[in-house]
Chain A
């Protein structure tokens, strides 16, 4: 456990390295051997349903929780030896921090500024997070999105090298969400490294260079959003239901026999086909349905998303929890 070894173990351009980290709460293994590596200047998004172990994972990386097994190296240092030095160089937004209602935006930023050796230009931070008008406002008067940006401001003000964000936009409306994304994108554009969790695909697709999908404390797949989507081996997804008939009258074999169909999934009243040549598949689908005297309803096609990959891998939706 000497720091000399830590240096060797951590690849030069990796800012966050986790190997085989495990966390148990009683009988429950919340994180069950996760490996993670974040290269400098990239954004990694950990994606997963409720209870997948995202917060537990990121809090171990942030030094809040102790892993029961595995090792963590941040910026070439370990929490056991250099906690203070790491804290000076990372910024953290927690999933559920409530600031004290009776404090003003500026007072909170000044408080957090006092914790760091580096001196921040608070006016610049206030501009970055777009709270110029709210500088003297009490926290309790801020909207959800503004509170979240304040929280990110507190994580950014000392010029950290790595930003940890735990579900930074959950519960925000689309416009508020976009403003948070802009703040994160600006941080990245200046060379910052981001590790975030989310259960929104759009967020991962927009911000992340690398997506790690976790479920039940394990990584089930990882790659760039494009790679992960490509791993589905489908050009698009075709979804439909039948009028007055259970979709299961169309057997899986029958559908798979059609040229270009790589996977079939029954989802409630719908069938979802993963397909390669969309137009040809739809043409043959019409023929099959005609010959069986069935009637199609609600036929839709869409390009696959990370959500579809998740469903294909686990049979559940991300939001199901």
Chain B
């Protein structure tokens, strides 16, 4: 079958030329692992980080503060020195001795969560009689609720987006720049086979990419995997297809690698920030949530978190799947319409 032959050969060539680029392999496979590992370890420890406080005060006050386990004390000669560090965010607040018996004074940035925490810890340390707890507490140590557990599905989603858009976008821009695309078009090659080969090579890498990253996350970082294979597979597949469509779309007109690359960053940048990769998009104002949920990466990340962390079935993800499917169809249709063959 000539048809299957050409799809197979085109796909083989795609896969080979990718595997023969060591940099590409690094960015697709190694980078997300390194990133997950670094961020995962940074936020892994069971014990809460102590607050770092600058102190410009008497030895007595310094000692009282230093006695608290939740506070690291750094002494300064003058308020100016301490203030300089505070501005850079290296310390969470500055405590000065109160003048003429007044209360000690704390300078801090109330917008920073760490600074607010520091304030509470300082107040606690300075008033012994508040030792009695006024609320009962339960510590959250269960797997699946730590930051790294939140982070990993986001990284996976971001990786599917990056490899789809970069992998396909660059490859298309490159064959066009080399006039290799033009050369293939004077053969009876079917244009659909050309596109299909990109999709198929994406799927080959998708499997490698996802399996490697999930194994790494499960074994090294202890991220839970509560999904059934089908739900997880469907979500990943749809995610890969959406961003393959985006990859073809961003490269459909670009004549140069630079042109394509600018467009890719333009498309990806907002989603890196607003689609809940590193922090939940719920931090943005409520009014924006419906809009953010329409972004394909938001939908993918939400779906991945639901299946991986909560073990939800793919059947309960109607909204996310619809958003992704819609983007997928739209990007392919537009890409096919505007694609520059020559």
Q: Which residues of A contact B (CB under 8 A)?
A: 62-65, 84, 87-88, 90, 92, 94, 96-100, 102-103, 107, 110-117, 154
Contacts and interface: CB of A to CB of B under 8 A. Distances in A.
Given A98-B179, A115-B188, 13 more contacts: A64-B182, A92-B187, A94-B179, A97-B183, A102-B20, A103-B16, A110-B9, A111-B13, A113-B9, A114-B6, A114-B10, A115-B6, A115-B189
Given A63-B186, A64-B185, A64-B342, A117 B2 contact: yes
B179 to A, nearest CB: 5
Interface string B28-54: 000000000000000000000000000
A99 B186 CA distance: 15
A99 B174 CA distance: 10
B19 to A, nearest CB: 9
A100 B188 contact: no
Nearest to B179: A97
14 contacts: A62-B186, A64-B182, A64-B185, A64-B342, A87-B187, A94-B179, A97-B182, A98-B180, A107-B12, A111-B9, A111-B10, A111-B12, A111-B13, A112-B187
A147 to B, nearest CB: 12
Contacts, number: 72
Interface residues of B, number: 26
B172 to A, nearest CB: 12
A97 B174 CA distance: 12
B180 A92 contact: no
B178 interface: yes
A67 B174 CA distance: 27
B17 interface: yes
A78 to B, nearest CB: 16
B13 to A, nearest CB: 5
B41 to A, nearest CB: 35
Contact of B180 (A84, A99, A116): A99
Contacts of B179: 94, 96-98
Contacts of B16: 102-103, 107
B139 interface: no
A193 B13 CA distance: 31
A272 to B, nearest CB: 40
B181 to A, nearest CB: 10
B100 to A, nearest CB: 77
**Top 8 closest pairs, chain A to chain B, by CB:** A114-B9, A98-B178, A102-B20, A115-B187, A92-B186, A114-B5, A115-B189, A114-B6
Contacts of B186: 62-64, 87, 90, 92, 94
B188 A88 contact: yes
B2 A116 contact: yes
Contacts of B21: 102
Contacts of A111: 9-10, 12-13
B212 interface: no
B8 interface: yes
Contacts of B342: 64-65
Contact of B178 (A99, A113, A117, A154): A99
Nearest to B10: A111
Contacts of A113: 9
Contacts of A98: 178-180
B189 A100 contact: no
A87 B10 contact: no
B334 interface: no
Interface in B194-246: none
A64 B180 CA distance: 13
Nearest to A110: B9
Contacts of A114: 2, 5-6, 8-10
A62 to B, nearest CB: 5
Contacts of B188: 84, 87-88, 115-117
B184 interface: yes
Nearest to B175: A100
A100 B14 CA distance: 10
B187 A116 contact: yes
B317 to A, nearest CB: 39
